[in-house]
Amino acid sequence: MLGGEAVEHVKGYILRNFEQLTVLSILLSVIALNYLCLEKVALLNFYYLPVLLSGFVLGQRQALLTAVFSVMAVSFYYFIHPASYSLGHSSLSLAVHLLSWASFLLAAGILVGYLYE
């Protein structure tokens, strides 16, 4: 009977936090895809999906947190392995591209979250 109670507890947790778990799973999928593909700069726009979904479903605060986590994940991977982002790009061009991407990602999350609320 103890196993059945644990399953019900897990089921209740999943149902209560379904939106957060969905956003987290999409974000982790995008991070994994970004890790596996060679052309990292082309995949940056996939990070809009969890941020916009988070803003639409969870609100402005969660969208901002998702966007900040996305920017931190890309920045962390860039600092660990910078050669993977610089395929054919100069360092200044890449820095401008990443900065503009991060700015628009944060702004999109805030705007969609604001419209949701």
> What is the rounded CA–CA span in Å between residue 101 and residue 15?
33
Its pTM stands at 0.77
Residue recorded with tokens 């949701």: 116
In 10 A of CB 51, how many CB atoms?
30
In 10 A of CB 108, how many CB atoms?
17
pLDDT the model gives residue 116: 82
Instruction: Give the domain ranges of the chain.
Output: 2-116
Q: Could you give the 3-state DSSP secondary structure of residue 87?
A: coil
> What are the pLDDT digits (tens) for 47-78?
898 999 999 888 899 999 999 999 998 888 88
Torsion sign across C-alpha atoms 5, 7, 9, 15: negative
